[in-house]
Structure 1
Amino acid sequence: MTSNLLSTFDPRNGRLVARYPCADAAQVAQVCQRARQVFFDSWRVLPAARRSQALHSVAQYLRAHLAEFAAAEAADTGKSLAGAAGEVEGAAALWEYAAALARVEHSETLGSSTGSGLALTLREAMGVVGMIVPWNYPLITTAERLPFALAAGCSVVLKPSELAVGSLALLVAHLQENPLFPTDVVQLLYGAGAAVGQALTRHPAVDMIAFVGSTATGRAIETAAVACGKRVSAELGGNNQVLVYPDADLGAAADAVIAGGLRNGGQACIAGTHVLVDPMVADAFVLELEQALQRRYPAADATSLPAGLQPMITLQHKQRIQGLLQQGLQQGGHLLQGSRLDGPGQYLGPVLVDRVSADSILRQQEIFGPVITVCRVPAGQFNAIVADNHYGLAAYVWTGSSSTALAVVRQLRAGRIWVNANPEFWLPELPVGGFADSGVGREGGIRALETYSLPKAVIIN
């Protein structure tokens, strides 16, 4: 690697965490060519049982070194150690599930279609996958992709965000040292997306790009990758709606909105931050929302930092959110009790804004911070407002009626939907991905191997 160094900083206090050597274009090319060689020479021809064994060993390693991974994740992202530890356990569960999938047979035989011959389909690993993951949940977003690509037989070149590297550096170091994996079946590239990410996306040795990040960056990557003949799986931005019907359990709904919308400082793609509530119950719901905020994020006084609050990843990100808030309040939004428009260093919020119009900038822009908006509209207008949203990553429905829930679930175009539940509950068996501006393709779940492989048809006479 070059002498050009990438520095990461702890968002909680601004202290230097680590420095990593950035790759240049020549080194990106070298890594990609090496990944292609490993793919053809060893990993793709390894029996599925051996790949499964290797993946399972990673799950065991993550659990055995949970504290080390959690500390690295917390230092880069500002999470609490307990929150980061939960992510390590979630990542281990994903590696474990992918290990089981590696042994699932996914070919077809069409013996009766050819008379004396035989027709069949086989799955072929995609090849070299360039994987670009974000700063907010580096270990989890990688675990939703990397073990499934490996299970399919692919080799991977992984590029973490330049803001959060530590937990992935630990992971790849283990993969390089683990004798169950060929050397360099997974390689790590450090550097900015504009340089390293672009070079990875365009390199001819890379067959596929798997990306998680903003919609704008994702669309640019999709365009560049498709122009080079690559396949793309991309999980992009979310501007997620919470639908609160008049018959909902308002206390449970409000508590879940605070828990899910402000988790990770609101810096989560699936955060349910935009509430649509029927005016019949809006006043009661807003009161429950204020009380839930006080319970989950208590503060000694108006000048104290609320307990459990997570900082913004950078000062620039904080300032961007403050700019959006200023515009939203000028458009008529009302601050609710407990809101904080500022804080020390990179801390901000939490902020609850009531009486936000459907066309407010606070609803139209992906805020990606500790801001929850409340829009008071009749339940009969919910579907039209949601349909006007260009994102479709996640949605939340709160209702006491099973028929309403089923009707709404069928109507919503969102990749993940929670009904009367918060986003802390998910299963590795379920797919992740979005509609519209929230991305293309699906990761995880029973069909995850299809993302990282292609069928080939064979006729034998």
Structure 2
Amino acid sequence: MNLHVPSSTAVALDPAIQKFLDAGPKFLIDGKLVQAQAGATIDIRNPATAQVVAKVPEARAEDIDLAVKAARRAFDQGPWSRLTPAERGKLVYKLGEIIERHAEEFAQLEALDNGKPISESRAADLPIAYNTFYYMAGWATKIAGATLSPSNAGEYHAYTLREPIGVVGQIIPWNFPLMMAAWKLAPALAAGCTVVLKAAEDTPLSALRLAQLIVDEADFPAGVINIVTGYGETAGAALAAHPQVDKIAFTGSTEVGKLIVKAAAGSLKRVTLELGGKAPTIVFPDADLDRAIPGVTLGSFFAQGQVCVATTRIYAHKSIFDKLIEGVRDAASKIRVGPGLDTATQMGPLVSATQLKRVSGYVQSGRDEGAHVQVGGEGLTGSDGYFLKPTILTNANPAMKVVREEIFGPVVVAQAFDDTALDKLAAEANDTEYGLAASVWTQNASIAHKMAKRIKAGTIWINCHHVFDPVLPFGGYKQSGWGRENGAEAIENYLETKAVTMAL
């Protein structure tokens, strides 16, 4: 496999994006685009070339404090809380329209900043992002309490109010920068909260471009949306610990999620967490391999495998194991690896040198522990980018690090099984600290639904993988997190319930 960089299919940056980069991206705080108080910046690199493409301001505690206080004023004193639900919903919907109108710009930024193929951003990241705003906008007018009937002696009129929780700090990861921003912002705004969003320091460009467009094209009152970027140990920690923040919503690693919980404990602020995963995919002997092979390949290598629900553990029945692995291996070997801004690219680089080193370390660990590399396992010659070929490891066992730990790269571990007892298979699938997602491949509807009940994960896909929609709640069991993104459940994350009782 060679680096695929045909100039005839490379995408030239939109002039608006080039202007945005040349001018220098800025924070959005209290309705204004501003630089960091201390003047510190972060170099943003194109992971396909390792070259610096922009410098962005680095938020520190003083910047976070300004943003939180702006959000506090907007919630407590500003016009935001006085808007009708319909007015709030229209603004949320308009944000979706702005993203859709500038979809090509955002797709280019994701390819430049994160490294993912632009074809992938166009087909997946952008539609999910703007459709999330469209979907959540409708919830603004559907938040309702209930009338209750107490059993106390006497007559009472009792009811509940559903109220926005207040100021929300949101911290998003680098693997789906704009989509994760949408998943966080849309339900919080629809619920009536104000927000301080911290973008990942590796991939802040799409969030900061969104900040610019909010100032230029949206009509949100000042302070309702604040967008900053900075390092987790400084900006993220300051946001999680800030006493005027009522809730933290975090997406990232389980390790950092535990730190978020500790930081939030001082003020007992609400916390939701979408954390790591180690998704199993179970392929039964009756599976339609013509669907399973491309489905497992997509599940393993979509977004360079930098997905918390990637099919990192394949369990296939021994009667079809060789045929399945051969099919996935052949498909993987044909994946075109190259820069994200090349329309012919099917898989881009990993996000950073740090991530490449980490994932490559897992491949070496697998080798050291006796796993066989069926395909991949190497970088690409002739490039300074952070590339790793799609990799399949076999001859694995449950004690190996590559089976137990989240890799977060284009590396999948395959194991065969010969006992189709569902309880035993489910126990093996559940033998992990995570519980985010899983997929089951079978033509037997009874087996599919029985396995869906037995596997401890927040999302179960049957004869498919990586199917996302704003209506589908997303989140995990065990150490994969607390709460759910998307669907009606996402709105619940940002509401408090108040009981009102009146004696008659």
2:307 corresponds to which of 264, 268, 276: 268
Superposed CA RMSD: 1.8
Structure 1 position 78, deviation (Å): 0.6
Structure 1 position 45, deviation (Å): 2.4
Structure 1 position 291, deviation (Å): 2.7
Q: Within 5 A, what are the aligned runs for 1:60-209? A: 60-86=97-123, 87-110=125-148, 116-178=155-217, 180-209=219-248
TM-score (norm 2): 0.87
Range 351-360 or range 340-349, more displaced:
340-349
2:371 corresponds to which of 330, 333, 337: 333
Instruction: Verify: 1:367 aligned to 2:403, yes or no.
Output: no
Q: Deviations over 1:172-218 (max 9, x none)?
A: 22223445311121111221110011011111110000000011001
Instruction: Verify: 1:59 aligned to 2:96, yes or no.
Output: yes
Q: For residues 112 and 232 of structure 1, do their structure 2 counterparts lie closer, same or farther at Cα, with a shift above 3 Å needed? A: closer
Structure 2 match to 1:244: 283
Structure 1 position 385, deviation (Å): 1.2
Q: Deviations over 1:136-176 (max 9, x none)?
A: 10111121121100011100001011000111011122223
Structure 1 position 421, deviation (Å): 0.9
Task: Give the match's secondary structure for 1:234.
Answer: strand
Q: Within 5 A, what are the aligned runs for 1:309-320? A: 309-320=347-358
Q: Deviations over 1:293-345 (max 9, x none)?
A: 2454489xxxxxx9522101111211222221112112221121x42422243
Q: Within 5 A, what are the aligned runs for 1:412-451? A: 412-423=455-466, 425-451=467-493
Range 283-292 or range 428-437, more displaced:
283-292
Conservation of the 8 A alpha-carbon contact between 2:337 and 2:389:
no
Conservation of the 8 A alpha-carbon contact between 2:117 and 2:347:
no
Q: Which amino acid aligns with 2:148?
A: L
- For residues 438 and 480 of structure 2, the distance between their equivalents in structure 1, rounded to whole angstroms, comes to 12
Larger RCO, structure (CA 8 Å, separation 6 or more):
2
Structure 1 match to 2:69: 33
Q: Deviations over 1:217-238 (max 9, x none)?
A: 0111012213321110100011
User: Structure 2: 5+ residue runs without aligned partners?
Assistant: 1-35, 339-343
2:427 corresponds to which of 384, 393, 400: 384
Q: For residues 16 and 246 of structure 1, do their structure 2 counterparts lie closer, same or farther at Cα, with a shift above 3 Å needed? A: same
Conservation of the 8 A alpha-carbon contact between 2:80 and 2:224:
yes
Structure 1 position 422, deviation (Å): 2.4
Task: Give the match's secondary structure for 1:268.
Answer: coil
Structure 1 position 33, deviation (Å): 1.1
- For residues 186 and 291 of structure 1, the distance between their equivalents in structure 2, rounded to whole angstroms, comes to 47
TM-score (norm 1): 0.94
Task: Give the match's secondary structure for 2:487.
Answer: coil
Conservation of the 8 A alpha-carbon contact between 2:59 and 2:231:
no
Structure 2 match to 1:18: 54
User: Structure 1: 5+ residue runs without aligned partners?
Assistant: 300-305
Instruction: Verify: 1:342 aligned to 2:382, yes or no.
Output: no
Conservation of the 8 A alpha-carbon contact between 1:176 and 1:186:
no
Conservation of the 8 A alpha-carbon contact between 1:298 and 1:307:
yes
Q: How many residues align?
A: 453
- For residues 218 and 324 of structure 2, the distance between their equivalents in structure 1, rounded to whole angstroms, comes to 56
